[in-house]
Chain A
Amino acid sequence: MKSSVITFPGSNCDRDMDVALKKFGFNNKMVWHDDNELPKSDLVVLPGGFSYGDYLRCGSMASKSKIMQSVINFAKSGGLVMGICNGFQILVETGLVPGVLLRNKYLEFICKNVFVKLDNKENTYFKNLNKDVLEFHIAHNEGNYFCTKDQLKEIKDNNQIAIYYCNSEGKIEDQYNPNGSIKNIAGIFNKEKNVLGMMPHPERMIDQSLSGEDGSIFFKNLINNIK
C-alpha cells in the first residue's frame, strides 16, 4: 500500500507520520509542498505542525500551495486523504471538509491525551475496528471546531461526524470537551467519507512505552481496510 505525507514549511509531525505509516506496512513517500504532482498513492496524509507559521489563519496559506491542487483532485476522485491537526486545519481551508477551526475556547495551547468516540464505522478509516473509544493525543491552539447551523444540520444528516471528545467510557459531555468545539466534534468526514480531518494525533500512540497503542490499532486496521 502506498502512502504520501505532504511536508509544508513548518510541518513538524510529518516524520512521526512517516514512522507510523512505515511501521504498519505502508510504503510511504514524503512529498514537498512545492511539487506539482502526487506520486501514485492509496492514502495521502496532511500532517500536523505550524505550516507557514500559522500566518493569517492556521492552514490558510498551505491550502493554496502548489501540491494542494493535486491533493484536491485526488480527493475529488475518491482518493483517501487524512488531515491531522494542522492537516485538518488545511483541509477545512480547502473546503474539502466543512467548517473551521477557531482558537481554543480558553485561549490555551492544549497538549494532553484525550478519549474520542467513533460515530460512524461505515468508512475505510474505521470499518472493522473492534473499539468504539480510542485514546489519542492532542496538541493544538486552534482546535475549536465551528460550523454554521445549516452546515451542522448537513453534516449530521450525512453522518459526517467522525469522532467526538468523550471520557474513557465514551460519554460525550461538555466537561470532556477540551477546546470548545461545537457538539464535542474532534473530527469530520467529507460527504463521501474518503476525506477525514481530525485534531487528535494517532501517530503519537503507536508505542506502549511512549504513550499508548490505540494509534497502532487505528493504523493496522486502516491498512487492512485499504488492501
Chain B
Amino acid sequence: MKVSAIITLKKDVLDPQGKVIHQALDGMGFENISEVRQGKYFEIDVNEDDPSKAKAVVEDMCKKLLANLVIENFKIIETQ
C-alpha cells in the first residue's frame, strides 16, 4: 500500500529557499503571491494491506527520521 507524507517547515522557521523562489516567481510576473514555503514529499510503498497500519508505520518514520520535529511538521496525506 502506498502512503504519502508531506513535510513542511513550521511557521516561525526561516525558509530562505522559499523566499528566493518567491522572488524568482515575482520576477517572472507571478505577482499575486504573499509567501512561498518549500517542503518535502515522500511516497512510500509499505508492505501492509491495512490502511491504518500502513499510515501508522509512515507516521513512525516521520517522527524518527523523515521529519525533524523541532522545525518541521508532517502530514500523512493519502493512501492508495
Contacts and interface: CB of A to CB of B under 8 A. Distances in A.
| A, B from the same assembly | yes
18 contacts: A57-B68, A60-B65, A99-B70, A100-B68, A100-B70, A102-B13, A102-B14, A103-B16, A103-B17, A105-B14, A105-B16, A106-B16, A146-B13, A146-B14, A146-B70, A147-B70, A151-B70, A180-B14
Give the 9 A-B residue pairs with the shortest CB-CB distance, closest first.
A100-B70, A107-B16, A100-B71, A103-B16, A100-B68, A57-B68, A105-B16, A107-B20, A64-B65
A101 B71 CA distance: 10
Interface string B55-80: 00000000001101011000000000
Nearest to A106: B16
A56 interface: yes
Contacts of B71: 100, 102, 146
Interface of A: 56-57, 60, 64, 93, 98-100, 102-107, 144, 146-148, 151, 180
- What is the interface residue range for chain B against chain A? 10 to 19
Contacts of B20: 107
A56 B16 contact: no
A107 B17 contact: yes
A216 B43 CA distance: 48
A148 B70 contact: yes
Interface string B11-46: 001101100100000000000000000000000000
A144 B20 CA distance: 17
A140 B32 CA distance: 34
B42 to A, nearest CB: 10
Contacts of A99: 70
Contacts of A64: 65
A155 B74 CA distance: 26
B17 A56 contact: no
